[in-house]
Structures are given as structure tokens and as C-alpha cells.
Structure 1
Amino acid sequence: MDLPQPWLPPPALPARPTTAGCRPELRGQKQHQVCRGRQMEASSTNCPSEKTTVWAGYSHRMDTLQKQDLQRPKIHGASRGSSYQPPTLASLQRLLWVRRAATLSHINEVWPNLFLGDAYAARDKNRLIQLGITHVVNVAAGKFQVDTGAKFYRGIPLEYYGIEAEDNPFFDLSIYFLPVAQYIGAALNTPRGRVLVHCAMGVSRSATVVLAFLMICKNMTLMEAIQTVQAHRDICPNSGFLRQLQVLDNRLGRGTGRL
């Protein structure tokens, strides 16, 4: 049984102006998805712009989870300067090992209405209903992995998005960064939208796509995204995924800060 945990803000970061929505399309990058059941068209839907009132509400109205004493994460955001230098792989690995969340849970809210979890959480239908989850993104889909799918959630009013990804440093997860970010953004913008992103353990594959979402749609640097998520859940993307996030961070930080 998960114990209540207080929300502790991550270290203060340089002020950055927020952006209204997702960045433009990835140019020259393959987009592919494996989806089952009812779903939104992630590959062609841009993240909707967020209303000013929503952003104001995040800073002044930190609601608690149903039956949980966990406050929503604090929102960050700023534009990168032209002199921004992406962190090295070694510095990222040090950050992931040094900054540890207070407790380990099957599921944690790492951003307003965005949850990161493991296979146990994904299979706990009662818990998903209790939390009001409306969309599930499975980054470990497949017969020999977390084989849930749309049929598993039959009878529950939620949408399912599956990706057959491997937790392997040589697996190219970056081809899913943009479509999954767009899908999550669109899902969060629906009335009462609440999204669970999971894999087997909830620390590598699913954590990587959540970090990519924060970088693409919330204009965070890779370091900021890691600090934001790690304030609520321990994560540990493998070295290959970290390198792919470094490439994304570098592309987002060039010139105009756009892909």
C-alpha cells in the first residue's frame, strides 16, 4: 500500500518564459506508432495551446490527488539562450544517481495530471479508476512484455496507446518522441484528461518519453525535465536513451530553440 508523500519542489532553476504548446514537427525524422483500441491520431495532432487561466491555476491551485496527500508538481519553463550547452552523459548519470525521490511507488504524478508508473500500476484497474486515468501509454507493449492492450481495458472509459519498445541502449526510442509528446499533450488538454505512461518498471522507457514530452511541449531543458520528474519518482533511463535525449536537447537548444 502506497504511503502518502509530501511534494518537495526541485532546486530553483533560472526563470524562463513559458510556451503555449508543442514545438513544430520534427523535420526529417521518422514517425511511427503501434496503437490499439480507441486512440487519438498522435502523428498528425499538435499539442493544443494551453490557456493562460490554466497556467495561472497551476501556480495558485495545487489540488491534491484523490485519497492521496500528494501535491501536484510545480511548473517550470524558460527559453534556452543561444549559448546553451547540453549536459554531458556523465553529468546526467550523476544527477540520476544523486537526486532520489523520497519513496518508491508503483505510480507517481510527475506533472499535473501526468502519471509515471510500472506494469503493476497499469494492470490495477481499480487504481486507475480511482485516479481518474483517461489515457494509458504503454511503452512496453507486446506479447512478451506488458501485454495489456485495448481489450484488457474493455469496460473502462480510457484510451490506450501502445509502443513496442525494448529497454535496450541500441533501441531507437527517439522516433516516438514527437508523436507521443503530441498524444500526451492532446490527452491532457481534454476535459478531465489524466494520463498514465508506463513500461515494465517505470524508470527507463516510460521515463524517457515523459522527459521528451516535457522538453518538446513544456520547453524544458533535459536537466530541468529530469529534476522535475525526479522530484516525484526515481528514474534511470539507460545510456542509449540518455544519448537520444541529449540529441533532442541539442536540437531544441539551437538557434531559435525549435526543432
Structure 2
Amino acid sequence: MKTHLTLIYLALVAGCAGLVSCSSSGTSASSPAADISSGIGSSAIYKEYNAAGNSVLNKGWPYKLDASGIALDDKHTCTLITRRHVVMAKHYKRGVGKQVVFHNRQGQRVARKITAIKGGSGDYAVGLLDEPVPAGIRVYPLPTPTPDLKTRLIDVPVIVTDQHRRLYVHRIKRFQSYLVFFKYSNHIRKKILVSGDSGNPSFLMVRGQPVLVETHYGGGPGIGPFYGDARVQMELKFLISELDPNYSFKTVSY
């Protein structure tokens, strides 16, 4: 179990090619990985955040996760799955006509507005932006569904975000229907998710790339719709096509 956690740390801290190819070396007391597990390294995505203008990113270990596709200007968080579509928690969605603000890797502000929303059968909704975001903003792929995917993901670490624009590392505990349940790891920082964290995304790191795995529905370690579920993806495709059929999400094999 510790090996999994070390690998995800190294994927973030050292920017390695992917979980399966990382080494567990370099975790001495002076290493960034040791800083993370001891709580020394800041977990904040931004050093200085400004929803109305440009922001300054934290260039420590959180910078290895490209968070530019997460609109964190409001607690009703939106996450890009195409250049024009975002996912949100259906019970905590941002309204039609509301602005969404992204910041690229240089901290430059990109603002859009939500023009329409379609809710899913689970706790997820898809919002349509007034125009696509530029190339400098990350669009997150989803896990490619396979018959054994859920089995292989048990105990795998995930990067969890919260309403305060911070990152944590939890692990996948189990799946039930279309939901994924997380659990804590005792020897690293953890977040007790609370009201206001709903809709914030969690990611797998696959070959150095963040892959959207969940948006928060329940508190504690975290519960939410699993975006690698074939039924969820089928419905997302329908919702996206209803809003603008010229776009589609991508998937990445784990």
C-alpha cells in the first residue's frame, strides 16, 4: 500500500512518466515526497488566487497536477471534460448565466459563462460554456471502461481536491453501482470532505496525466459518481450531444 502512495507522490513531485514506471526511491527525509507525507509541503494549488484577475500558482508539488481545467472561483466547482462542457455535482451545480473562471499554467485568467445545463440520472450534471476554452486550459479525459477496471482500481491512490483549492491523497476503497468510495491513508495528509466540497474533482494519475475519476457527492473520505463507469459515460455522451454534439470527451486506459 505504501508503494502505491510513494508512486503517486513521485508522479506529482518528479513528473515521472506514469504510476507503473515510477521508482520508489528518493523518499528520504529531505525529499519532496517526505515533505508531503509529513505535512511540510503546502497542498495549495495557488500561492495567490484572484478570481477577478491573474493568479500565482504554487510551484511546489501541487504544480505537477495541471488544475487549469478546474473552475475554482466558486464553491460550485466545474471541471472540463471537453473544450466546451463541464461536469458538476447535480445537487450543487452552478447556475445558467453564471461565470466560470479558469487559470492556465501561467496563472492567466480565462472566463466563460454557462449557457445551459443538463442533469444526469446520478449526482452529475453537464454544463455548456458560451464558447470553447483555449488550448492552454486542460481538458480531462475519463478512464476507459473495461470489465476488470473496478477490480484493478481497488486501493489505488487518487488526488482529491476541495473547496479551498487544496490537494490531498486518498485511496479507492470500493465501488457500488455507479459510485466510487474513497478511504484514508493513515500516514499522509487527508481531508474530511464537508458541505461546500461537493462537485470538486478527484483524479487518477496515468502516465503523468490527470484522469477524472470522480466529483464529490458525499463527505468523509469521499463518495461520488465514477467516471470510468460505462453507464455514466453513456449518459454523459448523451448529455453532451444534447448541448453541443460537436464535442466529445476522451478516455485513457489505466
TM > 0.5:
no
TM-score, length-normalised on structure 2?
A: 0.30
Q: Going by fraction, where is strand more abundant, 1 or 2?
A: 2
Greater relative contact order (Cα < 8 A, sep 6+): 1
